[in-house]
C-alpha cells in the first residue's frame, strides 16, 4: 500500500507530497469533470505554492484507451516532467499509471498486459482519488482499453502502487446521485469479491469486511444528499479499504465480465458491476457459503434461524435491494447490452486476470447463463 493522506481539504497536500518525492515538474492527469467541478484549481494552487512547474493532460474517456496513454506519455516526455499527479476517478488514475509506464519503459500499453511485466522503475506517482469508487489510488492495477482488440487490458504490478495516495472526501460533494450510486456499487463489488477471492488473507479480510459494513450503512445517505459530509467521509474510507483489499486479494468474475463488456461498449463500470454482482454472488455461493453468510451479517441482513446457505442467499437479496433503493440499473439491457453480444463477451471474460481468483471454477457456458440472467 502507498502512504495515505486522508481527510477533508487533503487535496492541498498534493504539491508538498510531490516535493517530498523529489519532483520539479509534474504532469497533472485529470478529466473535464474534475476540472468543471473546480478540483483541478485546488491542485494547481497547491503545486504553485510548492514551487512546482506543471503541465496537464485531460484527454480521457470513461473507459480509458491505449492511444490516450500514448498521447499523455508524449506530453510527459516533451515537457521533461519528472513526476505524475492523477486527480479523478479510476479512469484518470489508470491512465496516469499507463502514462508512467510508457514514459519510462517505452513500447505500447499492450506490452505490459498481465502480471509483472514492468521492468524499469516508474516516476513518482501521487494519486488523488475523487470518486470513492475505484480504489485505483492505492492499487497495483491499471485497466486500459485496447481499441484494436476491443478489450480491456488488465495490468498488474507492484510498480503501479502509487507512492502517495490522497483522499479528500470533500471532492465527493460535487458528484451526481447516479455517479455516487455507480461508484458506490463498485466499492461494494471490490469488497465482496476480495473477501471471497481464493487469494484472500487475514489482512485483506479486515479491509474487505470493514468496507462492506461502511457501504451498507452509508451508500444510501450518500446517494440521497450531496451535503451529507459524514456519509461522504465514510464512503471515501470504504473505497480506501476496499481498494487495499482487492489490490492484494485480487477480484473475481464480476470484474472479469464487466471488463469484457466495458472494453467493447461504452458502458459505466460501476453500473455494470451493480447489475452483475448479485448474479455472480448466486453462482459463487456454492464455493464458500460460510463467507457469504458473513457478508450477509456485515450488510446488516437478518439471518436469525437461517442455515448457512440460506443466510448467504439473504445477503444476495440485500445487495439486490440496496441496488434498487439507490437507483442503480437492474438489467444490462437498460445500458444497451443486447442478447447477441453474450457469446462473444463470455469468451473474452474468461481471459481476464480477475477470473483466476474467482472462488468457483467457471466456464464460458456459466458466463453465458449469468449474462442471460442479468440481461
* Tens-place pLDDT, residues 94-110: 999 999 999 999 999 99
Assess whether the region 3-171 and the region 176-374 belong to the same CATH fold. no
- CB 186 within 8 Å of CB 133: yes
Confidence of residue 63 (pLDDT cuts 50, 70, 90): confident
In this predicted structure, what is the pLDDT of residue 287?
A: 98
Classify domain 3-171 at the CATH class level: alpha beta
Q: Is the predicted pLDDT of residue 281 greater than 90, yes or no?
A: yes
Confidence of residue 260 (pLDDT cuts 50, 70, 90): very high
Q: Which of 334, 344, 325, 319 is nearest to 375 (CA)?
A: 334
Looking at residue 123, the DSSP 8-state letter turns out to be P
In this predicted structure, what is the pLDDT of residue 62?
A: 84
In this predicted structure, what is the pLDDT of residue 213?
A: 98
Q: Is the predicted pLDDT of residue 141 greater than 90, yes or no?
A: yes
d(CA 17, CA 86): 13
Q: Is the predicted pLDDT of residue 374 greater than 90, yes or no?
A: yes
Domain 176-374 bears CATH identifier 1.20.970.10: no
**What's the average model confidence in pLDDT over 111-133?**
95
In this predicted structure, what is the pLDDT of residue 151?
A: 87
In this predicted structure, what is the pLDDT of residue 170?
A: 96
* Tens-place pLDDT, residues 11-26: 999 999 999 999 999 9
Looking at residue 124, the DSSP 8-state letter turns out to be P
In this predicted structure, what is the pLDDT of residue 97?
A: 98
Percent of the chain residues topping a pLDDT of 90: 94
* Tens-place pLDDT, residues 16-55: 999 999 999 999 999 999 999 999 999 999 999 999 999 9
Q: Is the predicted pLDDT of residue 180 greater than 90, yes or no?
A: yes
CA atoms within 13 A on the CB side of 136: 31
Q: Which of 135, 121, 112, 138 is nearest to 353 (CA)?
A: 112
Question: C-alpha grid cell for residue 97?
Answer: 499509471
d(CA 28, CA 48): 13
Instruction: Share the mean pLDDT of the chain.
Output: 96
* Tens-place pLDDT, residues 300-358: 999 999 999 999 999 999 999 999 999 999 999 999 999 999 999 999 999 999 999 99
Query: For the chain, what are the domain ranges?
Result: 3-171, 176-374
- SS3 call for 354: helix
- CB 258 within 8 Å of CB 272: yes
Q: Is the predicted pLDDT of residue 230 greater than 90, yes or no?
A: yes
Q: Which of 138, 132, 57 is nearest to 102 (CA)?
A: 57
pTM of the model: 0.94
Q: Is the predicted pLDDT of residue 133 greater than 90, yes or no?
A: no
Q: Scanning the structure block, which residue is given the C-alpha cell 516532467? A: 81
In this predicted structure, what is the pLDDT of residue 355?
A: 96
Cβ–Cβ contacts within 10 Å for residue 80, how many? 10
Question: C-alpha grid cell for residue 111?
Answer: 506490452
* Tens-place pLDDT, residues 181-204: 999 999 999 999 999 999 999 999
CA distances from 8 to 18, 168, 271 (A): 19, 5, 27
- CB 262 within 8 Å of CB 31: no
Can you state the percent helix, strand and coil of the chain, rounding each to 5?
Answer: 60, 10, 25
Q: Which of 281, 310, 285 is nearest to 370 (CA)?
A: 281
Q: Burial letters for 255-271: b for 16+ Cβ neighbours within 10 Å, e otherwise?
A: bbbbbbbbbbbebbbbb
d(CA 35, CA 50): 20
Amino acid at each position: 500500500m502507498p502512504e495515505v493522506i486522508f481527510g477533508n481539504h487533503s487535496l492541498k497536500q498534493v504539491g508538498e507530497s510531490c516535493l517530498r518525492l523529489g519532483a520539479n515538474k509534474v504532469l497533472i492527469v485529470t478529466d473535464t469533470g474534475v476540472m468543471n467541478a473546480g478540483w483541478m484549481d485546488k491542485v494547481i494552487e497547491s503545486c504553485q505554492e510548492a514551487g512546482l512547474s506543471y503541465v496537464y493532460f485531460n484527454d480521457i474517456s470513461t473507459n480509458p484507451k491505449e492511444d490516450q496513454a500514448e498521447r499523455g506519455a508524449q506530453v510527459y516526455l516533451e515537457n521533461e516532467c519528472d513526476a505524475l499527479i492523477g486527480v479523478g476517478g479510476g479512469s484518470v488514475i489508470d491512465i496516469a499509471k499507463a502514462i508512467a509506464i510508457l514514459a519510462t519503459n517505452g513500447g505500447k500499453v499492450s506490452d505490459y498486459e498481465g502480471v509483472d511485466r514492468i521492468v524499469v522503475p516508474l516516476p513518482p506517482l501521487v494519486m488523488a482519488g475523487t470518486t470513492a469508487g475505484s480504489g485505483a489510488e492505492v492499487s497495483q492495477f491499471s485497466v486500459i482499453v485496447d481499441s484494436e482488440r476491443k478489450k480491456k487490458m488488465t495490468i498488474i504490478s507492484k510498480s503501479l502502487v502509487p507512492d502517495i495516495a490522497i483522499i479528500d472526501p470533500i471532492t465527493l460533494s460535487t458528484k451526481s446521485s447516479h455517479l455516487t450510486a455507480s461508484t458506490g456499487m463498485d466499492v461494494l463489488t471490490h469488497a465482496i469479491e476480495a473477501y471471497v477471492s481464493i487469494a484472500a488473507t487475514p489482512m485483506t479480510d479486515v479491509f474487505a469486511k470493514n468496507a462492506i459494513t461502511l457501504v451498507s450503512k452509508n451508500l444510501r445517505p450518500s446517494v440521497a444528499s450531496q451535503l451529507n459530509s459524514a456519509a461522504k467521509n465514510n464512503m471515501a474510507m470504504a473505497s480506501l479499504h476496499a481498494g487495499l483489499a482487492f489490490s492484494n486479494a485480487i477480484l473475481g468474475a464480476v470484474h472479469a465480465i464487466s471488463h469484457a463488456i466495458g472494453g467493447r461498449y461504452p458502458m459505466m463500470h460501476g453500473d455494470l458491476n451493480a447489475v452483475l454482482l448479485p448474479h455472480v454472488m448466486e453462482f459463487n455461493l456454492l464455493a464458500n457459503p460460510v463467507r457469504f453468510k458473513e457478508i450477509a451479517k456485515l450488510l446488516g441482513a437478518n439471518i436469525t434461524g437461517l442455515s448457512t446457505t440460506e443466510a448467504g442467499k439473504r445477503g444476495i437479496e440485500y445487495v439486490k435491494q440496496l441496488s434498487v433503493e439507490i437507483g442503480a440499473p437492474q438489467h444490462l439491457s437498460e445500458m444497451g447490452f443486447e442478447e447477441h453480444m453474450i457469446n462473444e463477451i463470455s469468451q473474452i471474460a474468461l481471459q481476464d486476470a480477475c477470473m483466476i481468483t474467482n472462488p468457483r471454477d467457471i466456464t464460458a457456458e456459466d458466463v453465458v447463463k449469468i449474462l442471460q440472467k442479468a440481461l
